[in-house]
Each structure stands twice: as structure tokens, then as C-alpha cells.
Amino acid sequence: LRKVVTIAKSKKFRDNHGKVLLEGQRLIGDALEAGAVLQTLFFSTVGHLKELPEAKLKGASLVKVKFEDIKTWSDLITPQGLIGIFSKPNYAKMTYPAAQLTSSLPLLLICDNIRDPGNLGTILRSAAGAGCEKVLLTKGCVDPWEPKVLRAGMGAHFRLPIIANLDWDSLPSSLPNGIQVCVADNKDPSAQVEAVSVPRGVGRAGSAPVKPQPQAAPEREDEEGAASVSVPELPTQYYYENWTQTPVAVVIGGETHGLSPDALHLAASTGGKRLVIPVVPGVDSLNSAIAASIVLFEGKRQLLQWQEREDRRPKF
């Protein structure tokens, strides 16, 4: 068990052999229901097997081990006595829950260089909760099948398509036609927008953003200080103002460097906007997971409101 768990937790093994490790009754059960292929299941008591769909266990190797062994190598605070080795799931072959499909909205999420496992897992969970159609992960994001991401995701991996390791050249092929891509940076918004006025009711929580047309911005510098390519400026507004159209995608920038120039170029090419979450001056900017949750659920609210208006519109 030690050897299997140690190997299966490494990204190199996942990439080279196409296997992932899942732990706990709920996560393993969700994976089986979605059609993921179980290869080996380690369990401490026969009772644990009864908690899983029996038909889905056929063809897998079932190995009984001591609970103490599972506890030693478990990633969970309270181990449940179940560890499964699965073939790496293919999003295109998954069967997602009916409730998730019926609640799906024309809302996509693009993760731009999200490196923290806990943040990515929480973002995926929020995306599933908001009813996102799918999530796209660019190269540079942490592996979504990393154990800490799985633990924070709470089953989101088996509720909506997650397409990983995309470069910016190929990413547009995973987007529907006519989509508008908006960006939500996780940097201090007061440093990104020009203060012109403060809307009533907002106080000094944030400066009212200007709304410029896309244009070339001053060149940025990379980590070594060398000048990089210029990036476009985007029309900027608060996240709670109307920004949704169908379909729409939101880009969440990484924890350290924020949005990449590629993300800004993609947004500009689709007529997208920069969405600002105002914070009280002096307060640190929100982390990626919190920013994603705020923007995605606001997008959900706006899209549902739009659908309601469409449903009420007279049909001729």
C-alpha cells in the first residue's frame, strides 16, 4: 500500500501512467457514478464496499488492508478506510449528474496560472456550485488531480468538465462561438483603475472604474526585468454591474502574478471587460478562490435574471 500510494501521488506517475488516487467513500462513489474506471481499491472493512455501487466494482482488484495502514498513508484528517486507484478520467467520457446538467448555465471559467492546490480545488467547487458549463485550466495551473486539489474540490471533478493543460493558442477551440471573455484580476483593484467618482452606497470601498476602449498599454516587465509585449487596456466596471451575455467566460488570474498578457489579449479580442471587486482601502486583495466565487455567483445571478426576462417576453 505504501508503495502504491507514494507512486500514485506523484504528478510524474499520473502523467506517465494515466492513473489517479482518490480517497474516501464520497469521492470514490462520485467517480464511479460518473463512469471513472476503478483499477484497484484498498479497503479496511467489507462494510466500506457496501457503501459503493456494487456493479461499478466489477473488474477492479479489491485489496483488504489494515485500517492502520490506510491511516498512515491517508491525506484525510479522519480516514474512511477507502483508497482507490483509477484510470485518469477523460472529461469527454464522463457521465455528469442530471441535476448538474439541468442547472448548467452558459458560463465558463478559465483559470490562468492558479498554482495553489487549495485555491484551485475551492475554485472548482464554486464553479460546480454556480452551474458553470465547464472549466478550462491553462498551462501553469496546478494539476487538478493533485490530492490537495481533489480534497478541496469536494467532488467537483465529477460534476462538470475540467479541461487541463491548455496553451493560449489552443484554448479558443474549447470556447463556444460568439463568447465574450471577461477578466477578474486578483490584484488590488485600486491599482488597476483610475478613480473618477464613488457611486452612492459604496463609500470608499473602491474607486469607480473608467471604461476605456481597448488600446495598447505600456509595456510590462517580466520577472527578469526585461520588457515584454504590450497588453491591451479593457473597459473596466464593477462586478455587480451588468456584464453577462450568452455565452460568457470569466478568467481568474493567478495568486502571484495575476492575469497573463494572453488572458488580456483574449478578452480584448472578444470585446470583454475587466471586472473589479471593490475592497476597503488598506485591505489586501482577495485571493483567487474568493474572487472566483464572488464573480461566478454574480454571473449566475445575472444569467438567471436574463433567462427570467426572456421567459416573460411575449412569444409571437
Q: What CATH topology corresponds to 98-311?
A: Alpha/beta knot (3.40.1280)
| 204-234 pLDDT tens trace | 333 334 444 444 444 444 444 444 567 888 9
Residue pLDDT, tens place only, 232-241 = 889 999 999 9
Q: Which three cell numbers stand for residue 98?
A: 442530471
Residues 6 or more apart whose CB falls under 8 angstroms from that of 248 comprise 106, 107, 108, 179, 180, 181, 182, 299, 303
Q: How far, in Å, are 181, 188, 253, 270, 278 from residue 281 at the CA level?
A: 28, 9, 21, 32, 9
- Rounded Cα distance between 89 and 36, Å, is 6
Q: Where do the domains of the chain lie? A: 2-89, 98-311
- CATH number for the segment(s) 2-89: 3.30.1330.30
Residue 141 has pLDDT above 60, yes or no: yes
**Model confidence at 190: pLDDT above 60:** no
Q: Determine the Cα–Cα distance for residues 14 and 76; give it in Å rounded to an integer.
A: 20
Residue 212 confidence (pLDDT): 42
